[in-house]
């Protein structure tokens, strides 16, 4: 039998799932791949979608109407759709045809009994409880969380992006430590494309990149920026990804941009700041680090994994406007420290946070588990 892998993903346009697939194909080049895309499968099953929509409103209708939950995310958090996906995959993936299966993200259970199964995820649902600003009313049903636990327990190894999610699996889901491996993640922008220029003119420019303006701490950053302007009236703030209504001569709001234009913004900026209030990961920090920028961020979630306070950036508590302003001011006052922090961050990304490194780490663990190393 030819060596074959069943790769299971939610849809075909999530950039990190596509990067993961490309990475696996590179590091398991002697294997053939069959890709199973959950959304494509469900689109051919309209009756199941209708039933699930009715169940969503029965379980979460009031929360959706009151704004506590979104319909789109609620779709994947019913016992019905969970069991339906599991049964459907069980009919499509026969264990005698594959050496192992590999699943991207943890909204469903792609495991097949008797077949080695691996999972790569950036979050757990209960990890939300570790964020100081998380509203517990946004948790999904206990029945779904119980099923979520099965996703992890049915995986032979759960690969995670960050140490905080590894701790969540062990502490909140009772996952054995030897079945959790932190392998990091790569960027959507090729890090080799960044060429930080040590001779770049220091203009006291701050860059924010984030789509969810309020959750990413945009309001706190603008408040901090107004404080900074008292001392540095020529400071500049550029906002990309979001389109908040801000009328300020020192602030440019660019909205969503393609990757190529984001790369230019990273290279022109002096400091990157996204003082997020809740963050599963934050790939934009890695992109900014790859561009050689010092980071000002909040001390929560996975961020302390790669932003080391006083080494390649400054960490502040979520919602601390004065702390944000002080951290940026300290960097404005010391351009050499900015360059040193930026250089350290770029080296960290080059070594640990890139897809070749992620793939090599995953390959090592899988081959070791299968006894092929």
What is the distance between the terminal CA atoms of the chain, rounded to a whole angstrom? 20
Calculate the CA 302 to chain-centre distance.
Answer: 9
**pLDDT given for residue 193 in this prediction:** 66
Give the tokens for residue 33. Answer: 């791949």
Q: What is the CATH number of domain 4-186+354-370?
A: 3.40.50
pTM: 0.90
292-337 confidence digits (pLDDT tens): 999 999 999 899 999 999 999 999 999 999 999 999 999 999 999 9
Q: Could you please state the CATH topology (level 3) that the domain comprising 191-352 is classified under.
A: Rossmann fold (3.40.50)
- Report the percent of the chain where pLDDT is more than 70: 97
**pLDDT given for residue 372 in this prediction:** 87
Do 274 and 210 meet the contact criterion of CB atoms below 8 Å apart? yes
- Establish whether domains 4-186+354-370 and 191-352 are of one fold: yes
**pLDDT given for residue 196 in this prediction:** 64
**pLDDT given for residue 1 in this prediction:** 61
54-94 confidence digits (pLDDT tens): 999 999 999 999 888 999 999 999 999 999 999 999 999 99
Structural element, H or E, at residue 102 = strand 100-104
Q: What is the mean pLDDT of residues 343-357?
A: 91
**pLDDT given for residue 317 in this prediction:** 95
Query: Left (φ > 0), alpha (ψ -120 to 50) or beta: where does 310 sit?
Result: left
DSSP letters, 191-214, are GGG----TT-----EEEEE-SSTT
**pLDDT given for residue 134 in this prediction:** 85
Q: What is the mean pLDDT of residues 20-36?
A: 95
Tell me: pLDDT of 198 over 90: no
- Annotated domain spans of the chain: 4-186+354-370, 191-352
Tell me: pLDDT of 136 over 80: yes
- Report the percent of the chain where pLDDT is more than 90: 80
């Amino acid at each position: 039998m030819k060596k074959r892998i069943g790769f299971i993903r939610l849809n075909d346009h999530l950039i990190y799932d596509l990067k993961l697939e490309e990475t696996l194909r590179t590091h398991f080049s002697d294997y053939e791949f069959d890709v199973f895309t959950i959304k494509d499968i469900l689109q051919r099953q309209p009756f199941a979608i209708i039933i699930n929509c009715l169940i969503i409103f029965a379980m979460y209708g009031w929360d959706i109407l009151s704004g506590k939950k979104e319909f789109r995310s609620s779709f994947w958090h019913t016992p019905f759709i969970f069991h339906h996906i599991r049964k459907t995959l069980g009919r499509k993936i026969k264990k005698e045809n594959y050496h192992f299966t590999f699943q991207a993200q943890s909204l469903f259970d792609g495991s097949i009994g008797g077949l080695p199964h691996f999972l790569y995820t950036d979050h757990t649902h209960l990890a939300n409880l570790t964020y100081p600003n998380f509203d517990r009313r946004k948790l999904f049903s206990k029945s779904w969380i119980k099923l979520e636990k099965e996703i992890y327990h049915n995986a032979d190894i759960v690969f995670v992006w960050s140490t905080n999610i590894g701790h969540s699996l062990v502490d909140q889901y009772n996952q054995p430590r030897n079945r959790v491996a932190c392998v990091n993640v790569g960027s959507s922008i090729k890090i080799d494309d960044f060429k930080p220029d040590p001779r770049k003119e220091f203009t006291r420019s701050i860059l924010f990149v984030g789509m969810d303006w309020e959750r990413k701490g945009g309001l706190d950053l603008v408040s901090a920026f107004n404080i900074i302007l008292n001392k540095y009236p020529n400071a500049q703030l550029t906002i990309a990804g979001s389109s908040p209504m801000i009328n300020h001569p020192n602030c440019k709001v660019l909205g969503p941009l393609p990757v190529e234009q984001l790369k230019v913004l990273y290279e022109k900026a002096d400091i990157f700041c996204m003082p997020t209030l809740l963050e599963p990961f934050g790939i934009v920090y890695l992109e900014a680090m790859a561009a050689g920028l010092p980071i000002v961020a909040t001390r929560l979630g996975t961020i302390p994994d790669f932003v080391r306070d006083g080494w390649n950036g400054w960490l502040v508590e979520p919602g601390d406007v004065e702390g944000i302003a002080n951290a940026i001011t300290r960097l404005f006052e010391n351009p050499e420290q900015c360059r040193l922090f930026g250089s350290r961050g770029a080296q960290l990304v080059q070594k640990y946070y890139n897809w070749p490194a992620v793939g090599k780490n995953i390959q090592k663990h899988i081959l070791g588990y299968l006894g092929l190393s």
